[in-house]
Homo-oligomer: A and B are copies of this chain.
Amino acid sequence: MDDREIVKKIAAIIGEKNTEDDCAVIPFGDRYLVASTDMLHEKTDFPRGITDRQIGWMSVAVTLSDIASTGAQPVSVLLAAGLDSPLRIEDIITGAKECCDKYGAKLSGGDVDSHSELTIVTTGIGVVKPENYISRKGAAPGEIVCVCGNLGHAQKGLLGDPRYFKDLCEPQPKVSEGIYLGESGISSMMDISDGLAISLYDLSELNGCGFEIERDLIPLSDGIDFDTAFYGGGDFGLLYTCKESTFEEKKLPGFKIGKVVFSCGVRVNGTETAKKGYSHSWN
């Protein structure tokens, strides 16, 4: 069983609409509140060599990325920490607050607890006008598909390239970009924390459409090959779809990587790609 199968089980109980998106949506007055929660564990989620301050930063960044992917402005973050040692809390909270401060959110509180393995859960709350809210659903054939953010940096850092280690440990959520994309009338959006390829598959399934990706349009940073860029996770960029005219006229951030088509699945230069990326294994 993988994460996505478990989500299906949960969807059967709480309703599919509550599991489709990165964030829960709560209509509130003339705004939508969006909320997202993420659990990170020392062994499975934090790379070796990361500092406690970076752990705090990263824990907040992953949640702000979910908020950003709806077009919302993050307003508040709560942090629950299961600590193997109480001495770690100061650096973790310091890093968490730095990330909140940078992106305009307030670190509003949380919970602490002792635990054998460091475990951090951040919950972010954001606000967006209903007309600017973007969900994962809405992509339509004829549109283009775009990515905003670096590709493969985190994966490369994880594989030991020192040039990209900071990108791995201090991901920069695309908050202002997400807000601008929401205001610009794009059709769907999600973050690519699990990797570009698997995110494209998620979007394909949910929208009942497919993607024709052009290999040459995937930008490769220095020393990063196509596979790392396309399948690597942890980069926290934004994947979105929109009309080509919108992309041009509004000078949307990021780059076009292909087209939305009727036929489901994800193809690169016409060849079906592997549905792989970051996913927990449960066996």
Contact: B33 with A280, CB < 8 Å? no
Where chain A touches its partner, the secondary structure class is strand
Contact: B112 with A13, CB < 8 Å? no
**Also in contact, A109 and B13, with CB within 8 A (given A35-B123, A78-B37):** no
Bitwise, A17-30 to B at CB < 8 A (1) or not (0) is 01101011110111
**Also in contact, A29 and B31, with CB within 8 A (given A37-B111, A111-B37):** yes
Bitwise, A38-58 to B at CB < 8 A (1) or not (0) is 111100100000000000000
Q: Which residue of B lies closest to A80 (CB)?
A: B39
Contact: A117 with B114, CB < 8 Å? no
Binds B, one of A3-11, A134-142, A248-256, A267-275: A3-11
Complex: A118 Cα to B108 Cα, angstroms: 26
Q: Does A97 have its Cβ within 8 Å of any Cβ on chain B?
A: yes
The answer, among B5, B9, B111, B125, for a CB contact under 8 Å with A39, is B111
Chain B min CB distance to A111 (Å): 5
Q: Which residue of B lies closest to A94 (CB)?
A: B13
Q: Does A181 have its Cβ within 8 Å of any Cβ on chain B?
A: no
Complex: A249 Cα to B60 Cα, angstroms: 47
Q: How many copies does the complex hold?
A: 2
Chain B min CB distance to A215 (Å): 33
Contacts of A115 in B (CB 8 A): 39, 41, 117, 119
User: Using a CB-CB cutoff of 8 Å, which residues 243-283 of chain A contact chain B?
Assistant: 280-282
Complex: A6 Cα to B36 Cα, angstroms: 25
Contact: B39 with A90, CB < 8 Å? no
Complex: A150 Cα to B104 Cα, angstroms: 42
- Give me 7 other A-B pairs in contact (C-beta within 8 A), A6-B86, A86-B282, A116-B117 excluded: A6-B112, A9-B93, A26-B106, A39-B82, A39-B119, A78-B123, A113-B280
